[in-house]
Amino acid sequence: MSKNKKIALLSMCACLAMLLSFVESRIPPLTAIPGIKMGLANIAVMFTLYKLGTREAMAVSAIRVVLIALLFGSAVSFLYSLAGAVLSFAVMLLVRRVKLFSEVGVSVAGGVCHNIGQIAMACILLETNVIVYYLPFLLLSGTVTGVLIGVTSALLIKRIKIK
Amino acid sequence: MSGCNSVKKLRYDILLIAVLLFVSALSVALMLVFRRGGDRVAVEIDGSLVCEYSLAENGEYPLNGGTNILVIENGKAYLRYADCPDKVCVNTGKISYVGQTIVCLPNRVAVTVIGGGGVDIVQ
């Protein structure tokens, strides 16, 4: 793949990740438990991870977190999304390295760890451990959304050919 | 990826999903079984305990200089107002069991139900 093509592709993936984040922020929360969300942006990150590589996916994820915070967020929301993104990305890489899991397994691990990262950051920022109470619900939602995002990503990774 | 390999991967995926679902369902179930009603709420702002209110008395209390309004009604506590845009704390609804919490992240306010013997988290 030529350098120019790669730059264009990466920009498109980063743009998609941002757009998906934005779309998701417009959807009203379904439950009263904070932190439950679909994780649509992970589709773009998963796609980049499998199609373009680890470093590229890391760049897409980092660009999304920084730009979304600058455009729509605050310092606090930046810290939450950073904690979730860093932990989930690290675990997704590990799970993928093990070579036992398909895209769905990687995405489930990512979804669950995103929620764990955010809860951990909330515990640090609020200096309280009472929010651990939310963890079982977040594990549950992370697993379910992880499956949905994983199946979607797997389809896209399989169907979209990049030369 | 060969067909056989992907079937094997699928099996591990399902195992991972099953384990996660089991662990989370189990902890949710345990939480529901062992929960008990509290008698006070503790209000924490910026990580430090500011005050406690009894759940037995109905009342309306502005918190953190008015950024959030706590209401206690019929043994349940909820936040009726928050000045932040996301309103997660207002949407959390009413709490009355020990360990239940309403958190307002932007204002760093946490309201937790506590029992007779101090803070007790039911997990």
How far is residue B103's CA from residue B109's CA, in Å, rounded to a whole number?
6
Residue length, chain A?
A: 163
Residue B121, pLDDT above cutoff 60: no
Closest by CA position to A134, among listed A31, A64, A51: A31
Ramachandran region, residue B75 (left: φ > 0; alpha: ψ -120 to 50; beta: rest) = left
Q: Which of residues 48-67 of A touch B (CB under 8 A)?
A: none
Half-sphere exposure of A33 (CA within 13 A, CB side): 19
Q: Please spell the DSSP secondary structure of chain B, one letter per residue.
A: --HHHHHHHHHHHHHHHHHHHHHHHHHHHHHHHH--B-SEEEEEETTEEEEEEETTS-EEEEEGGGTEEEEEETTEEEEEEESSSS-HHHHH--B-BTT-EEEETTTTEEEEEEBTTB-----
Could you tell me if B36 lies within 8 Å of chain A, comparing CB atoms?
no
Q: Which two tokens stand for residue A42?
A: 């992970």
* Superfamily designation of domain B40-114: N-utilization substance G protein NusG, insert domain (2.60.320.10)
**Which among B16, B23, B99 is the nearest to A130, CB-wise?**
B99
How far is residue A146's CA from residue A111's CA, in Å, rounded to a whole number?
5
Residue B10, pLDDT above cutoff 80: yes
pLDDT digits (tens, 9 = 90+) for A37-88: 889 999 999 999 999 999 999 999 999 999 999 998 888 889 989 999 999 9
The answer to whether the Cβ–Cβ distance between A127 and B91 falls below 8 Å is no
The answer to whether the Cβ–Cβ distance between B21 and A140 falls below 8 Å is yes
pLDDT digits (tens, 9 = 90+) for A111-152: 999 999 988 888 888 776 666 778 888 899 999 999 999 999
How far is residue A143's CA from residue A146's CA, in Å, rounded to a whole number?
5
Angle at B100 between CA B61 and CA B16, to 5 degrees: 150
Chain A contact set for B10 (CB, 8 A) = 102, 104
ipTM value? 0.84
- Give the pLDDT score at B118: 43
Closest-CA distance of chain B to residue A107, Å: 10
Mean pLDDT, range B60-68, rounded to an integer: 89
pLDDT digits (tens, 9 = 90+) for B14-39: 999 999 999 988 988 887 887 778 88
Chain A contact set for B92 (CB, 8 A) = 32-34
- How many CB pairs below 8 Å do chains A and B form together? 101
From residue B118, alpha-carbon distances to A26, A90, B28, B103 in Å are 39, 37, 23, 19
**Which among B13, B48, B101 is the nearest to A101, CB-wise?**
B13
Chain A contact set for B31 (CB, 8 A) = 133, 136
Closest by CA position to A45, among listed A99, A113, A100, A93: A93
Q: Which of residues 78-107 of B touch A (CB under 8 A)?
A: 88, 91-93, 99-101, 103, 105-106
Chain A contact set for B121 (CB, 8 A) = 129-130, 132-133
- The domains found in chain A, sorted by start residue, are 3-159 (1.10.1760.20)
Could you tell me if A25 lies within 8 Å of chain B, comparing CB atoms?
no
Ramachandran region, residue B46 (left: φ > 0; alpha: ψ -120 to 50; beta: rest) = left
Buried-exposed string A84-121: b where 16+ CB fall within 10 A, e elsewhere = bbbbbbebbbebbeeeebbbbbbbbbbbbbbbbbbbbb
